[in-house]
Amino acid sequence: MRRAVVLALVVLVARSARAEDRVGPPAKDGDVVVVTGTRTPERAQRATVKTDVITRDEADRRGATNVADALASQPGLVVNPGSYGFLGGVSALQIQGFDRDRVLILEDGERVVGDVGGAIDLAAIPTADLDRIEVVAGPTSSLYGSAALGGVVNILTAPPRRQGGSGRARIEGRSFRGLVLQGNGAYRAGEPWIGLDLNYTRQDGLERYDDGRPDLRLPETTRRMFGLRAGTKLTKEMDVRVRARAFRDRLDGLESQTAPGLGRFLVDLPEQTDRYTLHVIHVTKIAAGSSLRLTLGRQQFDNFTSKDRRDSPIDERRDRTQRMQSFEGVLTLADGPRTWVTGARFEAEHFEQTITKTESTSRGPAVIGPYTEVLPLAYGIAAGYGQLSWKLGKLTVMPGVRVEGHTRYGESFAPRLAAAYTVTPELTIRASGGRGFRAPSAKELGFVFDHSFYGYRITGNPGLLPEKSWGVNADASWSPAKTMAYRGSVFANWVDDLIDLDLANGVVTNSVASYSYTNFGKARTAGGQVDARFRPAPWITAETSYAYTWTRDDVNDQPLQARPPHSLTSSIRIEGPWKTELYVRARVVTNAFLDVDTRAPGYQTVDARLGRALWAKAQAYVGALNLLDVRQEPGRIGDTRSPLGRVLYLGIKADFPWEDD
C-alpha cells in the first residue's frame, strides 16, 4: 500500500451533464459536486447515494502519481499491489469484499477496458489530468450494468477553468532511480479550448536474491501517456468535447535459469501494453436542469508478454488484443421536485490471444505460429435504464432499474431503490438496496496468464456462469459543527455463482501451480465503517476511520480468500510556519484468510510528506512512502505488503500562471 506524489490538473474534458459545464475555481475538499452515484449533479455532503471523493488536492497530499496510490489508503478500500501488482496482475481494488471485475472502473463515466487477470491496473492510470475520483460502494448495476457489484470508481477530468493559457508541471525523483514527469497545458479563448497532457514515470527493477544473481523480483517499469482534449460550444445550448489518449506501459523482467549440462543462462521477460482511447461527448441543454448527453467511444488494448532467452533461439511470445466500441445516450429532465434520468447504451467487444514459439527440432530451431491460444471471443450488449429522483420535503426517494441484453448470456434485470432523509441540517440518513450482476469477462472465459517463472499459471474457464447479487447499504452523516464531522455506514451483500480463482485446487506440474477461475456458488459479505474528521484549529485537520469486512463462502463454509477483515486509517494535516505543510497518514490492515492453514500477513504503514510553498502556486516537497519499511516476503502467497519497502522522494510542482486568481 503506497502513497506517491500527484500532479492533478488545470485542463481536461467532460464531467457529466450539468455538473461539467461550470467554469470557475476548483471546489474545496468536502464541498464538491458529484455525479457518479445518481448520474445527476449533487453536493457530496447532500448526495442521495453516499459518494466518497478524493480531490486533486487530497491526491497531492497523499503523494499519488497514479490512481492506485491515490486510493491506497482510502477508508473502506483495499488496494493490493502486493498480490496483484507486478506478479502477473495489477494494483487492483477491493470494496465491500469484492475485487477485480466486481468493482467497475470508469474514466469520465466510460468503462475502462484492458484488464489483466480480471482486474484493471490502477497503477497504469496516471493522475496527470486528474480533477477528482468518486467512489460509490454497493451494487450500482441499475446505472452502469455488468461488473458494478461491489461499487464504482469514476476517475474524472475537467476542462480548463480560466481564460487564456494555463498549465501545471511536476518533476520528482524517487528511490530505485525513480523519475516522475507530469505536465499539462491548456488554452481557452472564450468557449473553445484545447489541452495537452503528458506523463512519464520510470523505476528500476528490484533484485530477487541478495547472492549476486541478476534475477529481478520486480521488473524495470516505464509508463508513458499522451492526451489531447478539446471542446467548444456549437450553439448556446450545444457543447461538444473530444478526448483522445495514448498509453504505453513497459515492464522488463529478468531471470536466470540453470539447464543440466548447459550451465546458467539469462531470460529477458519483457511485457508491453499499448492502450488507446477516443471519446466524443455532445451535450445539449434542453432547459434549466435538463439535458441530453451523447457519448461515442472507442478503446483499443494491445499487450504482449515474451520469454527471450539470451544467446538462444528458443523463445515464446503471447499477444493479446481487446477492442470495444460504445454508444450511450442519457436524457435528464428536471420537473420541479422530480428529476428523470433515462438512458440507453450499446457495446461491442472483442478479445483474442495468440502465441508464437521457437522450438528445437531435429532440423534445428523452428518457428511455430502465431496460432490461436484462446479462441476469439466477441459479444455485444444493449441496455436501457431509468431513474427518478423525487424530493418530498426533507425526504428524497430514488427508484431506478436497468434491463440489459447480452449476446452470450441473455437478459439481466437490475432494480435499485435509494433514499435520503435530512433529519436536521446537521444530520442526514441514507439507505439503498439493489441488484448487481456481472457477466464473465473475456479473459475469465479464455485467458492464459503464464507466470511459470514465478511458480504459477492462471487459465480461463469457458464454462463460467454470470454472477448475480443483492446488496443493501445504509449510512448516517452528522456534522454538529463546522470543525467536526462523523459518519457511520453498514452494508450486506448476497452473491450467487461468485467467480474467483480456485487457489485451493491448483494443479502442480513441474513445480508450476496452475489455477483456474470457477463459480463458487453462494457467498456473502457484510460489514461497516466509522469515520470522524476534526479541525480544532484553522491550521490542523485530523481524520480517522475504522472499517470491518466479513465474508463467507457458503459452499466451503469458510471466508473468501484474501479479504482483510479489519483496517484502521488515520491522517493529520498541519499548516505550519514559513508556508510549510506537513501531512502524515497511517494505516493498519489485519491478516486475511487464504486457506485453513495459511493467512495473508497483516501490516502497518506510515507515509509522510513535507512541503513548502515557493510562491503562490509552486511548492517544493520531500516525503517517504512506507516509512516503516514493511516489505513483502518473496514467494509468500497472498502477501499484500509493499514489494518495494520504503520509498523516498522529493520534487517540485507549479501551476501557471503563478499569480493567484
Tell me the pLDDT tens digit for each residue of 96-153: 988 777 889 999 989 998 776 567 888 889 998 889 999 999 999 999 998 888 899 9
Measured distance CA(374)–CA(600) in Å, rounded:
32
For residue 84, the model assigns a pLDDT of 43
Question: Cβ(112)–Cβ(19) under 8 Å?
Answer: no
Q: Name the region of 655 (left: φ>0; alpha: ψ -120 to 50; beta: rest).
A: beta
Which of the given ranges, 349-353, 446-450, 607-611, has the highest pLDDT on average? 607-611
Residue spans of the domains in the chain: they are 17-656
User: CA Rg, the chain, in Å?
Assistant: 24
- Residue 513 pLDDT greater than 90, yes or no: no
Measured distance CA(450)–CA(461) in Å, rounded:
15
For residue 202, the model assigns a pLDDT of 95
What does DSSP say about strands 467-481 and 427-438: parallel, antiparallel, or unpaired? antiparallel
Mean pLDDT of 370-391: 89
Measured distance CA(54)–CA(50) in Å, rounded:
13
Give the distance, in angstroms, between the CA of residue 392 and the centroid of all CA atoms in the same chain: 35
| Reported confidence tier of residue 24, pLDDT bands at 50, 70, 90 | very low
For residue 407, how many C-alpha atoms fall within 13 Å in the half-sphere facing its CB? 11
Question: Cβ(158)–Cβ(175) under 8 Å?
Answer: no
- H/E stretch holding 209: none
pLDDT of 415-448, one tens digit each?
999 999 999 999 999 999 999 988 887 667 766 6
Measured distance CA(502)–CA(520) in Å, rounded:
9
| Reported confidence tier of residue 629, pLDDT bands at 50, 70, 90 | very high
Q: Around Cβ 591, how many Cβ atoms within 10 Å?
A: 15
For residue 309, the model assigns a pLDDT of 87
pLDDT of 201-222, one tens digit each?
999 998 888 888 888 888 899 9
For residue 561, the model assigns a pLDDT of 83
- Residue 3 pLDDT greater than 70, yes or no: no
- Residue 335 pLDDT greater than 60, yes or no: yes
- Residue 457 pLDDT greater than 90, yes or no: no
Question: CA 606 → CA 72, 74, 542, 569, 583, distances in Å?
Answer: 12, 13, 15, 10, 11
For residue 518, the model assigns a pLDDT of 83
* Dihedral of alpha carbons 25, 30, 33, 36, sign: positive
Class of CATH domain 17-656: mainly beta
- Residue 291 pLDDT greater than 60, yes or no: yes
Q: DSSP states of 48-99 as a string? A: SS--EEEEHHHHHHTT-SBHHHHHTT-TTEEEETTTTTTTTS--EEEETTEE
Supply 118's cell numbers.
480480471
- Residue 88 pLDDT greater than 70, yes or no: no
For residue 351, the model assigns a pLDDT of 86
Cis check for the bond before 370: say yes or no (omega within 30 of 0).
Answer: yes
Which has more confidence, 89 or 590? 590
- Residue 312 pLDDT greater than 80, yes or no: yes
For the chain, what percentages of helix, strand and coil (3-state, to nearest 5) are there? 5, 65, 30
Torsion angle of the four alpha carbons 611, 34, 402, 243, in this order, in degrees rounded to the nearest 10: -70
For residue 25, the model assigns a pLDDT of 39
Lowest average pLDDT, out of 5-19, 254-268, 491-505, goes to: 5-19
* Dihedral of alpha carbons 207, 269, 444, 224, sign: positive
Which has more confidence, 427 or 639? 427
| Reported confidence tier of residue 490, pLDDT bands at 50, 70, 90 | very high
Mean pLDDT of 171-176: 94
| Reported confidence tier of residue 451, pLDDT bands at 50, 70, 90 | low
For residue 18, the model assigns a pLDDT of 32
Residue at grid coordinates 456549437: 234
Measured distance CA(613)–CA(617) in Å, rounded:
7
- Residue 396 pLDDT greater than 90, yes or no: yes
For residue 81, the model assigns a pLDDT of 59
What is the model's pTM? 0.87
- Residue 563 pLDDT greater than 80, yes or no: yes
Measured distance CA(420)–CA(304) in Å, rounded:
48
Supply 508's cell numbers.
502442480
What does DSSP say about strands 603-615 and 580-589: parallel, antiparallel, or unpaired? antiparallel
For residue 584, the model assigns a pLDDT of 96
Measured distance CA(227)–CA(250) in Å, rounded:
18
Question: Cβ(272)–Cβ(249) under 8 Å?
Answer: yes
Measured distance CA(57)–CA(45) in Å, rounded:
18
pLDDT of 189-201, one tens digit each?
999 999 999 999 9
